[in-house]
Amino acid sequence: MIKGPLLGELEQAVLNYLWDNGKSDAKSIHKTLGKKRGISLNTIQSTLERLFSKRLLERAKISYAYVYDTAIERGELINIWLNNMIKALKTSKNEVMLSAFVDLTSDIDITHLQELEELIKKKRAQLDD
């Protein structure tokens, strides 16, 4: 069970690359991410190994190289993080946390706030059934 490991900025960038582009090897990831950042192929390989050991990536050996793919969907990982954060911050004054969440959602984009409203409606309907 993944408990929502903390991730560094490069680990997040690698996961986003794989979510956006699908399976890939270290050289391909380095070509896109590593060169822009001025980091070596070894750094990308180490990052992939850390993500694999955190069980966030799967890998298969093809010829002489590993091909990596995500072991978890982006939304699933975000859900784990949010649930862990909410549990850690839960107090008798949940309105502070909820208010902060609504502020964050609306700061991103007004359409996200509308999506949140729709999700709340759907969840209420499920609970009423």
What is residue 91's predicted lDDT score, i.e. its pLDDT?
Answer: 61
What span, in angstroms and rounded, lies between the C-alpha atoms of 85 and 90?
8
What is residue 1's predicted lDDT score, i.e. its pLDDT?
Answer: 43
Q: Taking the domains of the chain in order of start, what are their residue ranges?
A: 9-70, 74-128
Q: At what angle do helices 110-128 and 94-108 cross, to 10 degrees?
A: 130
CA distances from 1 to 8, 14, 36, 67, 83 (A): 20, 21, 34, 23, 14
**CATH 3.90.1150.10 for domain 9-70:** no
Contacting residues for 43 by C-beta, under 8 A, at least 6 apart: 10, 34
pTM for the whole structure:
0.70
- The tens-digit pLDDT sequence of the chain (129 residues) is 455 567 889 999 999 999 999 999 999 999 999 888 999 999 999 999 999 999 999 999 998 899 999 999 998 988 888 787 777 766 656 677 777 777 777 667 777 778 878 888 888 888 887
What is residue 103's predicted lDDT score, i.e. its pLDDT?
Answer: 75
